[in-house]
Amino acid sequence: MKKKRSRKWIIIILGIIFFFIAIYFGIYLYAKVQPKLPISGANGYHLYDINGEIYTAGSNENVDLKDISRHLINATIAVEDKNFYKHHGFDFFRIIKAMMINLKSGENLQGASTITQQYSKNLFLDFDKTWDRKIKEAWITIRLEAHYSKDDILEGYLNTINYGGIFGIENASKYYFNKSSKKLTLAEASMLAGIPKNPSKYSPLTNEKEAKKRQKIILDAMVKNGYISQSEADGAYNTKLNYEKGTDEENLKMMMYYQDAVMDELSMIDTIPSSFLETGGLKIYTNLDMNAQKALEDSANKNITNEEIQMAGVVMDPKNGKVLALAGGRDYNKSQYNRATKAKRQVGSTIKPFLYYSALENGFTPSTTFTSEKTTFSFSGNKTYTPKNYNDEYANGPISLAAAISYSDNIYAVKTHLFLGDDALPDILKRVGINENVNTLPSLALGAEEINMMDMMAAYSALANEGYKVEPYFISKVTDMDDNILYEYKPKLENVLNKNTVYVLNELLTTTYAKEFQSYNTPTCLSIAPKMTHKYALKSGTTNTDNLIFGYNKDVVVGMWTGYDDNKDVSSKDSSNLKNAWVDVMETYLKDKDDSKLWYETPKNVVGVAIDPVSGKIADNNSKAKILYYIKGTEPTDNKSSLDDSIPTVKLEE
């Protein structure tokens, strides 16, 4: 009785299988009479820099199958689809086997997609897992099998697959081993063939230990399928591989972060067809400036000598939002996490320019004074806050707003924040494009909030662009292979700040490296002043875990950060190194440019006055003098008063 039931179920299962196979071949015959898919050049990402020069591409260097190492071909087939030359797009028996294993284990342990299925997936811009996408991929798989030979499909697959941010085997071979894919050895081929399974995990440049485990699986599969002997497999596994990338500018260690940011932006553009079959490939015109990128990378490599610390940097044109260069880490080969576009870090004192813009807008001038001394602040709920100045340096007397900016005085900043009210700084941050839901505690004035670097770049660009907000962007235009425009970015400028007030603030931000402010304290960026041949507005910031610096003129904004991914404490040397890296980027990028065209014209409603830097009073023969700028009618008299009486504070006794 049991045998009869068993036979009955076997017959039913076989019947179902043959039913679906029959349906498949019916669809296959229908696909035969459909037009042939134009796959030549499909899935080609051709990226151009700001000068219209191609600098890298997803699969711009296609190669014929006959010019690919047989070891690489065999390794790929052995590990990805051993029945590739036997099935018609779907390996039904492998699908059934995978389903049974997954059902039995209750986990998704095995997949069963064929090389043709994977190639059809690569013909789309993104990898949505919707049923609509899966049906489209299945239909393309059948049409590929109906119209193309197995060699054609395999060639297309190898020219489009992702080898760790590098698309196509020829590009990957040159990227990892600086040689043509035709010359790959068994050891090299078996290593590369393992990457597509999980590029971030199996790239030997990122995780060689996991990559070697994957290589062993591939070599074992090649032995099992009769491609190589066990001794050949052992020899390949024990071969020490040397990763020798080319030395041209395309191999800058940080440029791949820029390319990743481009691809992220591309995925958000809804006017571009989702399938490469509709475009034949894409030409992506980016804002990458090779000179800026090289300046950013060279300065980071030269100055950030702590090999353990991470960094991020952005170079941007404030007039339109073009991102000219970007680094999301020290070395893309070791970590693909883009700290410039994805991380949020405490911004420290680099938030203060926006606080002081609000202050200037609400009646402060560069001469407005608060007392700088050890202070405990009282606020709602009987809570107190006791910030400290860097190195515990205090004037123990009144200082001007100009001096507070020069020394980055924390007491002055918190007093300003409390004087203006809770909403003043958050409101300014929103106006310049920072939409974080920041707390309004006194610590906000010192940058205790975590904000993304690109948001900070946009905010500083509003200062650099004389009050006009712009959105940072990477892609200027996208076309198909026939140069039909699929997308073109039009910068949108929004006037969010007052030009006169911005000018006053920009001049105040030059005090951070002005020697006239050397007194009881030292300007925060004075150490890099000897390197400067141009005038900059500049603000640095330091927390226990983060070093930041943002600076600009009319032509360019540069922001940089250093810190540890695990939030380990940074050192004063790390901060000094970052400042030197920043000034080197600026000076290299602006080399030979006319300084008179890089700074701002003084507005008609603004006047310059010689001021005693610390007191904020008009300079006399017995004091130092620095030209500071004021909205006409607000310039100081000798008896300018302090605002301290308006702040709820408690002076700390020594």
Catalytic-role residue among 80, 188, 265, 297: 80
- In the residue annotation, 80 being an active-site residue is answered as yes
Residue 549 tokens read as: 């610096």
C-alpha of 369 from chain center: 40
Closest CA to 112 of 81, 88, 146, 140: 81
- What is the rounded distance in angstroms from the CA atom of residue 43 to the CA atom of residue 144? 15
Torsion angle (degrees, nearest 10) of CA 214, 218, 220, 223: -170
Catalytic-role residue among 113, 173, 349, 408: 349
- What is the rounded distance in angstroms from the CA atom of residue 286 to the CA atom of residue 487? 12
- In the residue annotation, 373 being an active-site residue is answered as no
- The DSSP secondary-structure symbol of 653 reads P
- The DSSP secondary-structure symbol of 344 reads E
Residue 240 tokens read as: 């020490």
User: Within 10 Å of residue 360's Cβ, how many Cβ atoms?
Assistant: 22
- What is the rounded distance in angstroms from the CA atom of residue 651 to the CA atom of residue 654? 9
Token pair 């200082």 is found at 399
- What is the rounded distance in angstroms from the CA atom of residue 158 to the CA atom of residue 153? 9
DSSP codes, 174-238: HHHHSS-GGG--HHHHHHHTTGGGSHHHH-TTT-HHHHHHHHHHHHHHHHHTTSS-HHHHHHHHT
Q: Please report, as a single letter, which amino acid is at residue 177.
A: F
Judge whether 117 and 141 are in contact, CB under 8 Å: yes
Handedness of CA 537, 542, 543, 547 (dihedral sign): positive
Among left, alpha and beta (phi > 0; psi -120 to 50; other), residue 100 is: alpha
- Start-to-end CA distance of the chain, whole Å, equals 97
Task: Name the β-bridge partners of 630.
Answer: 607
Task: Name the β-bridge partners of 77.
Answer: none
- What is the rounded distance in angstroms from the CA atom of residue 394 to the CA atom of residue 521? 8
Task: With both helix axes pointing from N to C terminus, report the angle between 2-32 and 92-105 in degrees, rounded to the nearest 10.
Answer: 130
- What is the rounded distance in angstroms from the CA atom of residue 508 to the CA atom of residue 367? 11
Q: CB-based contacts of 268: which residues, under 8 Å, 6+ apart?
A: none
Judge whether 116 and 138 are in contact, CB under 8 Å: no
- The DSSP secondary-structure symbol of 468 reads E
User: Within 10 Å of residue 499's Cβ, how many Cβ atoms?
Assistant: 15
By annotation, the residues acting in catalysis are 80, 349
